[in-house]
């Protein structure tokens, strides 16, 4: 079979990364006959102030010490959830692509480590449209990287980024987010399926509105029979203060008060139902459970 230029460039780009970055953290969870696996897209390098500035600094300091963290910088993992049931290969978000940060955008290597290629993905479902979740949509030719996949996004999230006023109202620091999101969304405009809170978007996958980090952020309950897990995206954005003090407002959220209420709702549900979660920026592959403690919650890896 002839090798297309697209396929040649994808394999050429991925091959050196696999050997150069062998330590991709992945985790896996069985759900009946299906599996949820996380695919690494690398990691981000962020100023700590992005998250910590709105928080009470005296109370924050001992929490950071407990987790061995610096208030100056953070390097969160980027873990894309991949659901496979023998019929569908569903990827939640597409990562950063090459234009956001040099430490991220490694999705091709992450997939190759699992023996998968872009054409194996049947569906791409977006939690939201921040750069580390949607900028990996396009390949070197500005065409969809996952060219055989169907695309799905919550209607509220789509409408927010599609609105021409968003770029001028989102704030100067995030204006490039709006430009980058819309450019990529324009490519899939005629092929994307939009959904609402509570919709079963695919067999066994139901949407759950989790606003705050972005206006239309969605989480997803993935269920096979009596077994279920929650793909939370950035609604629970880290394993430290988001768990210990979910009520604290974070600078990484666009609507910090709404995001804090969403976090508390999710953590209450996860602990009551003892449901596993998959978090985009949680450590060591991002799959674990939430446990209630005397002073909040904690993330327990699987």
Q: Which residues pair with 296 in a beta bridge?
A: 293
Tell me what pLDDT residue 26 has: 82
Predicted local distance difference test score (pLDDT) of residue 91: 98
C-alpha closest to that of 3 among 298, 202, 11, 167: 11
Report the pLDDT value the prediction gives residue 25, as an integer from 0 to 100: 66
Residue 181 has pLDDT above 90, yes or no: yes
What pLDDT does residue 12 have? 32
pLDDT higher than threshold 70 for residue 167: yes
Each residue of 34-62: pLDDT tens digit? Answer: 999 999 999 999 999 999 999 999 999 99
Closest of 286, 5, 288 to residue 140, by C-alpha: 5
Proportion of the chain above pLDDT 70, given as a percent: 92
pLDDT digits (tens, 9 = 90+) for 259-293: 999 999 999 999 999 999 999 999 999 999 999 99
Q: How many Å apart are CA 174 and CA 162, to the nearest integer? A: 15
- Model pLDDT for residues 64-98, shown as the tens digit of each residue: 999 999 999 999 999 999 999 999 999 999 999 99
Read off the pTM: 0.91
Please give the Cα distance from 180 to 192 (Å, whole number): 17
Q: What is the C-alpha to C-alpha distance for residues 188 and 84, in angstroms, rounded to an integer? A: 23
CATH homologous superfamily of 5-18+25-301: Ribonuclease Z/Hydroxyacylglutathione hydrolase-like (3.60.15.10)
**For the segment 190-234, what is each residue's pLDDT rounded down to a tens digit?**
999 999 999 999 999 999 999 999 999 999 999 999 999 999 999
Tell which residue, 47, 127, 44, 38, has the closest CA to residue 84: 38
> How far lies 67's CA from each of 8, 286, 294, 297, in Å?
43, 16, 17, 14
Model confidence at 11, pLDDT cuts 50, 70, 90, reads very low
- Does residue 9 register a pLDDT over 60? no
């Amino acid at each position: 079979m002839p090798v297309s230029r697209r396929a040649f460039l994808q394999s050429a780009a991925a091959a050196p990364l696999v050997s150069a970055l062998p330590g991709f953290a992945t985790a896996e969870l069985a759900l009946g006959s299906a599996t949820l696996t996380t695919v690494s897209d690398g990691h981000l390098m962020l100023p700590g102030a992005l998250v910590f500035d709105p928080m009470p600094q005296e109370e924050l300091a001992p929490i950071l010490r407990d987790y061995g963290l610096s208030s100056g910088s953070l390097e969160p993992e980027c873990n894309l959830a991949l659901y496979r049931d023998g019929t569908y290969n569903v990827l939640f978000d597409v990562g950063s692509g090459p234009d956001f940060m040099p430490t991220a955008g490694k999705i091709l290597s992450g997939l190759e480590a699992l023996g998968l290629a872009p054409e194996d993905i049947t569906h791409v479902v977006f939690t939201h449209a921040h750069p580390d979740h949607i900028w990996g949509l396009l390949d070197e030719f500005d065409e969809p990287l996952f060219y055989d996949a169907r695309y799905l996004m919550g209607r509220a999230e789509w409408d927010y980024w599609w609105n021409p006023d968003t770029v001028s109202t989102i704030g100067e620091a995030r204006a490039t987010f709006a430009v980058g999101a819309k450019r990529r969304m324009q490519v899939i405009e005629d092929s994307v399926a939009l959904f609402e809170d509570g919709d079963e978007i695919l067999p066994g996958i139901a949407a759950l509105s989790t606003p705050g980090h972005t206006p239309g952020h969605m989480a997803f309950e993935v269920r096979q029979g009596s077994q279920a897990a929650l793909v939370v995206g950035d609604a629970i954005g880290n394993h430290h203060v988001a768990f210990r003090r979910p009520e604290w407002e974070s600078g990484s959220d666009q609507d910090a008060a709404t995001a804090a209420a969403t976090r508390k709702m999710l953590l209450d549900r996860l602990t009551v139902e003892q449901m596993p979660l998959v978090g985009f920026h949680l450590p060591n592959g991002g799959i674990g459970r939430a446990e209630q403690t005397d002073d909040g919650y904690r993330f327990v890896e699987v």
